[in-house]
Amino acid sequence: MNCKVYSKDGKELRTMELDDAVFGLPVNEDLIWYAINNELANRRQGNACTKGRGEVNGSNAKPYKQKGTGRARRGDKKSPVLVGGGTIFGPKPRDYSYSMPKKAKRQALKTILSLKAQSDTLKIIEDFSIASGKTKDLAKLLDNFDPGLRTVLILKDDDPMIKRAASNIPWLSYLSYNRLQAHDLFYGRQVLMLETAAKNLSDFYAVKETGE
């Protein structure tokens, strides 16, 4: 698959051949759904907590006698049917995370990359860096590529200056080529990928697959 390479000013420079094993796969919607839900589940804190009738404060005494009042039988004031009583089957802290097969995870990421490439929402940009680490310098560069859209920037390495500059732009998220996130990648309205990152992705997935 051929893809255009743009300069930092948003002008076309040349075309680049992308690996079909990463960017030319058929879209597998089920696998994408599985990968995104796995990431969302692993992000959950799971700290919701309610008190049962044995945990709320209150007397254990009956509010009135069992017989002779004409009213229904009543236990203590901590009963779940009374105001201020415990909660029936309420949530408790738990771990929502679960593991996903590594091969399935990688296949889902490659499927999303293929989807972005086939829908023309993937743009390859020549390598750049933000020496100052200032947000305004990166924002000025991004003005050449549909600013304001939910954008994902895929880096060739852990560039601390680009990350520092990107952290203050609300509609921009950044990912290293070897640590992609299915959720961020899929929901990005446009994906901007550095040229070296595009080359590294093919080698990265090739090494992973031959290593197993």
Answer whether residue 78 is part of any domain: no
* Predicted confidence band of residue 11 (pLDDT cuts 50, 70, 90): confident
pLDDT tens digit sequence for 161-192: 999 999 999 999 999 998 999 999 999 999 99
pLDDT of residue 207: 59
DSSP 3-state assignment of 90?
coil
DSSP 3-state assignment of 209?
helix
Q: What are the C-alpha distances in Å from 38 to residues 43, 95, 105, 115, 200?
A: 9, 13, 9, 19, 25
Say if residue 151 is exposed, middle or buried (CB neighbours under 10 Å; 0-12, 13-18, 19+).
Answer: buried
Instruction: For 130-193, give the DSSP string.
Output: -TT--HHHHHHHHTTS-TTS-EEEEESS--HHHHHHHTT-TTEEEEETTS--HHHHHH-SEEEE
Query: What is the residue range of 158's domain?
Result: 2-37+101-210
Residue 59 phi/psi, 5-degree rounding, is: -80, 150
Answer whether residue 108 is part of any domain: yes
pLDDT tens digit sequence for 42-63: 999 999 999 999 999 988 888 8
Answer whether residue 71 is part of any domain: no
DSSP code for 122: E
Answer whether residue 52 is part of any domain: no
* Predicted confidence band of residue 26 (pLDDT cuts 50, 70, 90): very high
Q: In the numeric block, which tokens belong to residue 128?
A: 């750049």
pLDDT of residue 13: 86
CATH number (domain holding residue 179):
3.40.1370.10
Answer whether residue 116 is part of any domain: yes
DSSP code for 35: H
C-beta of residue 41 within 8 angstroms of C-beta of residue 98:
yes
User: Residue 209's closest CA among 25, 16, 5, 1?
Assistant: 25
* Predicted confidence band of residue 210 (pLDDT cuts 50, 70, 90): low
Q: How far apart are CA 151 and CA 171, in angstroms?
A: 6
Domain count, the chain: 1
pLDDT tens digit sequence for 96-151: 999 999 999 999 999 999 999 998 899 999 998 899 889 999 999 999 888 888 99
Answer whether residue 53 is part of any domain: no
Answer whether residue 164 is part of any domain: yes
* Predicted confidence band of residue 3 (pLDDT cuts 50, 70, 90): confident
